[in-house]
Amino acid sequence: MRGRAVRFLAAHPREVLLLALWSLLEAGQTWLLGYALARALDDGFLAGERAVGLGWLAAAAGAVVLAAYGTGQVYRQVAALVEPARDALVRRVVHRALDAPDDAAVSRLTHQVEIARDALAGLILVLRSFVFTAVGALVGLLVLAPALLLVVAPPLAAGLALFAATLRPLARRQERFLAADEAVSAELGRAVGALRDIRAAGAERTVAAAAAGTVDAERAAAESVARWAGVRVLAVSVGGRLPILLLLVTAPWLLRQGVSPGALAGALVYLTQSLLPALQSLVEGLGVTGSRLFVVLRRLLAAPALRPPAVPGAPPDPYAISLKQVTFAYGPHAEPVLDRLDLDVPAGAHLAVTGPSGSGKSTLTALVAGLLAPGAGEVRAVADRVLVPQEAYVFSGTVRENLTYLCPRPPADPDVLAAAERVGAAELVRRAGGLDAALDPGALSAGERQLLALTRAYLAPGRLVLLDEAASELDPAAELHAERAFRARPATTLVVVAHRTAAAARADLVLELDGMEWQLRAGERHRNGTEPRRADGQGPEHRNGADPRQPDGQKPEHPDGRAPWHGKGAEPRQPTRNHEARTPLPQRPSDPALPL
Ligand SMILES: Nc1ncnc2c1ncn2[C@@H]1O[C@H](COP(=O)(O)OP(=O)(O)OP(=O)(O)O)[C@@H](O)[C@H]1O
């Protein structure tokens, strides 16, 4: 960072030189202010030479006017230095956002670049001002009487050292604050972009809790910055106010050393009118603005961050879902809803999740869908997944818009109608007036809304379909029809959260949740005399060590050596690319061995 600053200044020698020259006026004015007052007293008013005294005061006033003009020029030179720096930053940030777009890019481009520009200008101003003022004042003290320096210099140095010691911790806290600021920006950006889906999935509370968490973290980070900023007050007192006190206390001794009353008054002017304000500005500027600039620049100039991996990450082949020791609780002090859950679902299998109300079924689907992150353990699932919640989301729009809402490219009408037919929504689409008909969500029954949502999920390019009581409002026959459609859907891993035991019986795998207990067993059709067992190898289910065999008796290898619970066929169906899972979807005859 220091190297970059030096290179930047070296690239603008003219602006730097002009800035230094105009700043010399400020140093000269500082020096003259104290010196002229000393002379006005010693050679003028105290010596009975009123005209001489007034003459020195007039010289000091003239210096103030001249310095004011110099300050105007200083601002121009600072702008000439800062604006190119800002342009360079904007270029860099835009390139970075184009190379690796992320949710915080807008925050960096607007908020942080402006912080950097303002902070850089402020920093140059205060640093330059302190250096030239301090030089003017210290030279003035030396010229008036070297003994004055003995009194002033030690506390000034101590104050500066104390201030310097706070810079690094303050910068670290500033960095944390900015990271929290970006997290808020990213979290809220994601939430605003997904409002429809959040509403559809009934995830308002979860999203609000996550947003509140990031806002709280930002507030805590800001408070920490403020606390450290408080230490600066001490530095100003030691470096700027203590010398004034010492000067007054040692005045008799200084006078005995031959320091004139005028020199004493001049020294007081240096301290109160020049050094103290310059130190205050420096501490304010470097302590807050400077560390903020340091942090912002470090972030802005950093190499493009790799995009965070999609959550959850991809499971090992041949699985569509892989959970390892997953624990989740709604809040740090809440009882876990899920406790050390292990679950491997091969691609193409059908998992039923059952359990009493409140046992964590929806929580599990939200974890697999990536809406929630586990407190401990690891959740991995194929990236293209569709979650259909119990509360089906239908919006005011045409039937087609509602059914193809999750399709990146609109499918052809015959494919949409075929999907509706398979899921059992064809009659509803006909009654509604066809694909072009406008839907009034309020006029639909809960079951009708679920049929539309199920058809939408069927058409969506997802290899993993999570039905969270998505057919709960349908009669058993219609639920069976829809489920059969998803089972026949190519390259689909199906997770069905169901209260009805019949739904569980149809699955290849059944996960029963109850309190923090869980049990994984084969579906009815796979229990040919074998005992179910827990996937973690514990519990009575494991006592005979029997594995739920596949229909052909084979036991496929698990990457980590455990026996997975394969459902359909000897080999789990290989994952296919997105477009293969989308329409047109050939009607596949349902597996005659499945009791559907
Ligand atoms: N956003 C939330 N904040 C706090 N607690 C929650 C939240 N969502 C769910 N819970 C609690 O977590 C537990 C599991 O809820 P979850 O909805 O996963 O259960 P479920 O088995 O799907 O229930 P149901 O069958 O009634 O839908 C319940 O005790 C529930 O009250």
Name which residue sits closest to atom 25 of ligand 1, judged by CA: 357
Type of residue at 228:
W
Cβ within 8 Å of residue 14, ≥6 positions away? none
pLDDT of residue 108: 59
Distance 468 CA to ligand 1 centre (A): 12
Name which residue sits closest to atom 24 of ligand 1, judged by CA: 357
pLDDT of residue 430: 96
The ligand 1 site (C-beta within 6 Å) comprises 205-206, 330, 337, 355, 357-363
> Which pLDDT tens digits describe the chain residue by residue (596 residues)?
566 677 777 888 888 899 999 999 888 999 999 999 999 999 999 999 999 999 999 999 998 888 889 888 998 888 888 888 888 877 777 776 666 555 556 655 667 778 888 888 888 888 899 999 999 999 999 999 999 999 999 999 999 999 888 888 888 887 788 788 888 888 888 888 888 888 877 788 888 888 898 999 999 999 988 888 778 888 999 999 999 999 999 999 999 999 999 999 999 999 999 999 999 988 887 766 776 777 777 767 764 544 443 356 788 888 999 999 999 988 777 889 999 999 999 999 999 999 888 899 999 999 999 888 888 999 999 888 999 998 898 988 899 999 998 998 889 999 999 999 999 999 999 999 999 999 988 889 999 999 999 999 999 998 999 999 999 899 989 999 999 999 999 999 999 998 767 777 788 999 999 877 888 887 764 543 333 333 443 333 322 223 333 333 333 333 333 333 332 222 333 332 222 222 222 233 333 222 22
Type of residue at 333:
H
* Virtual torsion, Cα 556, 561, 567, 571, nearest 10 deg: -30
Distance 584 CA to ligand 1 centre (A): 37
Q: Under a CB-based contact definition with an 8 Å cutoff, are residues 569 and 551 in contact? A: yes
Quickly list DSSP for 555-579.
-PPPTTSPPP---SSSSPPPP--HH
Paired tokens of 493: 């891993």
Q: Report the C-alpha gap between 552 and 191 in whole angstroms.
A: 47
Query: Do the bridges between strand 350-354 and strand 493-497 make them parallel or antiparallel, or are there none, so unpaired?
Result: parallel
Q: Cβ–Cβ contacts within 10 Å for residue 559, how many?
A: 13
Domain 2-301 and domain 319-390+463-581, same fold? Reply is no
pLDDT of residue 183: 86
User: For ligand 1, what atom is nearest to the CA of residue 331?
Assistant: 4
DSSP element (H, E) containing 137: helix 113-144
Name which residue sits closest to atom 9 of ligand 1, judged by CA: 363
Residue 516 is classified by DSSP as T
Q: Which of 560, 528, 561, 525 is nearest to 546 (CA)?
A: 528
pLDDT of residue 228: 81
Distance 198 CA to ligand 1 centre (A): 16
The residue to mutate among 339, 354, 362, 365, having the most atoms of ligand 1 within 8 angstroms of its beta carbon, is 362
Name which residue sits closest to atom 4 of ligand 1, judged by CA: 330
Paired tokens of 304: 């493009």
Name which residue sits closest to atom 18 of ligand 1, judged by CA: 360
Q: Report the C-alpha gap between 351 and 370 in whole angstroms.
A: 18
User: For ligand 1, what atom is nearest to the CA of residue 390?
Assistant: 27
Gyration radius from the chain CA atoms: 37
Distance 283 CA to ligand 1 centre (A): 52
Residue 184 is classified by DSSP as H
Range list of β-strands (E), 393-533: 397-398, 438-439, 464-468, 493-497, 509-514, 517-522
Distance 203 CA to ligand 1 centre (A): 11
- Strand-pair partners of 571: none
Write the burial class of residue 48 (CB in 10 Å: 0-12 exposed, 13-18 middle, 19+ buried).
Answer: exposed
Q: Which of 97, 490, 162 is nearest to 304 (CA)?
A: 97
Q: Under a CB-based contact definition with an 8 Å cutoff, are residues 267 and 141 in contact? A: yes
User: For ligand 1, what atom is nearest to the CA of residue 469?
Assistant: 27
Name which residue sits closest to atom 31 of ligand 1, judged by CA: 358
- From the candidate CATH numbers 3.40.50.300, 3.40.630.40, 3.30.110.30, 3.40.50.620, the one assigned to the domain spanning 319-390+463-581: 3.40.50.300
The residue to mutate among 207, 354, 359, having the most atoms of ligand 1 within 8 angstroms of its beta carbon, is 359
Q: Cβ–Cβ contacts within 10 Å for residue 153, how many?
A: 14
Q: Classify 2-301 by CATH class.
A: mainly alpha
Please state the domain extents for the chain: 2-301, 319-390+463-581
Cβ within 8 Å of residue 91, ≥6 positions away? none
**What is the widest separation between alpha-carbon atoms in the chain?**
121
Distance 524 CA to ligand 1 centre (A): 27
Residue in the structure block whose two tokens are 């100003």: 236
User: For ligand 1, what atom is nearest to the CA of residue 365?
Assistant: 18
Q: Cβ–Cβ contacts within 10 Å for residue 269, how many?
A: 20
Compute φ and ψ for 319, nearest 5 degrees.
-100, 150
Question: In three state form, how does the secondary structure of 95-122 look?
Answer: HHHHHCCCCCHHHHHHHHHHHHHHHHHH
User: For ligand 1, what atom is nearest to the CA of residue 209?
Assistant: 1
